[in-house]
Amino acid sequence: MRFIIVPSSEMVNFATMKNVLKLSLFLLLLMQSCSEETWLSGTVNLEGANDWKPMVYLIQPEKFDDVAQSFVGKVLDSAQMDKSGYFEFTNVQEFRESVLVEVVVQKKGETYPNRLMNQNPETDNYFPLVYEPGTNLVIDADLTHFQSSFAIKQPSEANKAMLQLRDLRLAAFKNYMEGQIGTQDADEDLLEREKNLYNYQEKLITFSNSTTQLLPALTALRWSSPEGNYERIADMVHSQSNKWNEQYPEHPWVNQLTSVADKNKLPILIGDIIPDLEFPMKNGENLSLKKLIEGKNLILLDIWASWCAPCRVENRNVLVPLWEKYNSEGFQIVAYGLESSETAWSNAIEKDGAFRWLHASHLQGDQNPLMDTLRLKTIPANFLLDQEGRVLAKNLHGEDLIDFVDDYLSKE
C-alpha cells in the first residue's frame, strides 16, 4: 500500500480552497433561492378561457387617481400560468410599507397590460389587494370572472375588507342594473337613471365611511366613480376626505383626495350659504338672490333648460303642483335657464305652465356666471334654501322633492 504525504502548507491550502468552493456554492444556491422567492402566487381556473392570455400582471397605482384607472398604473411584473393555471411573481421586490397593487389579466390581442375593465364587476379583469410587509399572498380566481371570483388564502384584515367591498359592489351593481331596465333610451328617464347611479355610489361610500381600513376605503371612493366625476356625490366625498385626513394626514393618497374634495372645487355643499348672486330676470330686472328669497320660508333654486327633456317633465309633473299647493305658504321657485334663445326659453315656460314662478337667465347657454359660481356642470340641478340662503338639500327630484317640501313646510 502506498501513501502520499502532502506537506502541511499544501494541506491547508487544499482545505481552504475546498471551504471556499463550499461557501461559493452555498451563496450561489442562496442567491438563486432568493431570486425565486415570491410574495404573490396563486392558481387561476383556465376553463372556458380561450379568449384570454395565460398571463397575470402586477400593476401598482402610484396615485389616488390611478386606482381603478386604465393605462396609468406602473407595471411591476408579469407571470406565465402553467397548464394547471399556477403562477408566481419572482421579480418583484418587497415594499417597505403597505401598498395597494392590482392583479390583472388580459384578453388576447390586448396590447397594454395595465388596461382595467370597469364595465361589470362580475367579469372585470382585475382585483385590487393590499400588500403588507412580510406577508405572502396566495390567491385563487376564475379567469373569465376574475374580480367576482377572486379569493385570498388567509387574508389580512385589510384584504378581508377589500373582499367585503368587492361583494358589496357586486350586489349594488346588480341592483343598479335592475333599476336601469326600461330606462336606457328615454331622455325623460334620465333622472331615474341618475337616482339609480346615486344609490349605487352611496352604498360604496357608506362602506368607506364604515371601515377602518384606509386602502379599501380609498378604493371604494374610486370605484364610486372611476372617471373621477364627483359632482353628484360631492357632499359624501368631502365628508370622507375629512375623515381620512384626520386619521392619516401624512398619507400622500389622502392628501390627493383632500385636494380633489376641496370645497372650492366641488359644487356648493349642503349646509353652506349660496353666494348672493345677481340674477338677470326675464322681466328685465337684475335682482340679488337675497332680494328674491326675502320673506320666503323655502326656496327652490332650479337650474334647467328648455332643451332638457327631464327638466320639462319635472316642470309639468312636479313643480307646477308644488307651487300651486305651497306658494301661499312661503314656497318660491327661482328657475335659472341655460338658454341662448329667448324664444325657445319663453315657449318652454309657457307650454310647461312654469310662468307661475320666477325665471332668470344670462342667455349665455351653459357657459354662464351661475354655473361657474356654483361649480356645476350637469343639469337638472337644484338647491333647496332657507330664508338665509343656506342649502338644506339639493338635487332632489320627483317624489323625493315632493316629500321634502311637504315635510319641511308642515313643520314650518
19, three cell numbers: 471551504
Give the whole-angstrom CA distance, residue 150 versus residue 158. 15
The stretch 336-345 carries a mean pLDDT of 97
282 and 252 share one domain: no
Q: At 371, which CATH number?
A: 3.40.30.10
Asked whether residue 185 is assigned to any structural domain, the reply reads: yes
pLDDT band with cut points at 50, 70 and 90 for residue 54 = very high
The parent domain of residue 206 ranges over: 168-260
pLDDT band with cut points at 50, 70 and 90 for residue 17 = low
Q: How many alpha carbons fall within 13 Å on the CB side of residue 32?
A: 6
For residue range 141-181, list pLDDT tens digits in order.
999 999 999 999 999 999 999 999 999 999 999 999 998 87
- Note the pLDDT of residue 152: 98
Asked whether residue 65 is assigned to any structural domain, the reply reads: yes
176 and 283 share one domain: no
Apex 150 CA angle, 146 and 153, nearest 5 = 150
- Note the pLDDT of residue 411: 84
Apex 201 CA angle, 198 and 202, nearest 5 = 85
305 and 395 share one domain: yes
Q: What percent of the chain has pLDDT over 70?
A: 90
> What SS3 string covers 178-228?
HHHCCCCCCHHHHHHHHHHHHHHHHHHHHHHHHCCCHHHHHHHHHHHCCCC
* Three-state secondary structure call for residue 61: coil
Asked whether residue 2 is assigned to any structural domain, the reply reads: no
Q: Which helix (H) or strand (E) holds 149?
A: helix 146-149
Is it the case that residue 27 has pLDDT exceeding 80? no
406 and 282 share one domain: yes
331 and 363 share one domain: yes
178 and 150 share one domain: no
237 and 286 share one domain: no
Q: Which of 228, 260, 292 finishes a domain?
A: 260
pLDDT band with cut points at 50, 70 and 90 for residue 337 = very high
Give the whole-angstrom CA distance, residue 241 versus residue 269. 14
8 A C-beta contact, residue 233 and residue 205: yes
Lowest mean pLDDT among 83-97, 173-187, 254-268, 311-325: 173-187
- pTM greater than the 0.85 cutoff: yes
* Three-state secondary structure call for residue 284: coil
298 and 227 share one domain: no
- Note the pLDDT of residue 33: 42
**E-strand spans in 224-351?**
278-280, 286-288, 298-304, 331-337
Q: How far is CA 223 from CA 110, 152, 228, 283, in A?
A: 23, 20, 9, 46
- Note the pLDDT of residue 23: 53
**Number of domains observed in the structure of the chain:** 3
- Note the pLDDT of residue 143: 98
12, three cell numbers: 491547508
307 and 405 share one domain: yes
8 A C-beta contact, residue 42 and residue 92: no
125 and 199 share one domain: no
147 and 204 share one domain: no
Closest CA to 342 of 359, 319, 367, 323: 359
Number of H helices and E strands in the chain, helices first, is 13, 15
Q: Which of 107, 123, 154 finishes a domain?
A: 154
Lowest mean pLDDT among 18-27, 260-269, 310-319: 18-27
Is it the case that residue 353 has pLDDT exceeding 90? yes
Asked whether residue 401 is assigned to any structural domain, the reply reads: yes
Q: How far is CA 22 from CA 18, 19, 27, 238, 331, in A?
A: 6, 5, 9, 63, 91
252 and 306 share one domain: no
What mean pLDDT is reported for the chain? 91
Spell 182-216 as b/e; 16+ CB within 10 A means b: eeeeeeebbbbbbbbbbebbebbbebbeebebbbb
Cα 219 to chain centroid distance, Å, stands at: 7
Asked whether residue 162 is assigned to any structural domain, the reply reads: no
Q: Which of 234, 260, 286 finishes a domain?
A: 260
Is it the case that residue 289 has pLDDT exceeding 80? yes
Asked whether residue 147 is assigned to any structural domain, the reply reads: yes
The stretch 22-44 carries a mean pLDDT of 61
Q: How far is CA 342 from CA 166, 349, 352, in A?
A: 50, 11, 15
Asked whether residue 77 is assigned to any structural domain, the reply reads: yes
Cα 128 to chain centroid distance, Å, stands at: 14
Q: At 79, which CATH number?
A: 2.60.40
pLDDT band with cut points at 50, 70 and 90 for residue 185 = low
The stretch 387-397 carries a mean pLDDT of 97
- Note the pLDDT of residue 305: 98
Asked whether residue 88 is assigned to any structural domain, the reply reads: yes
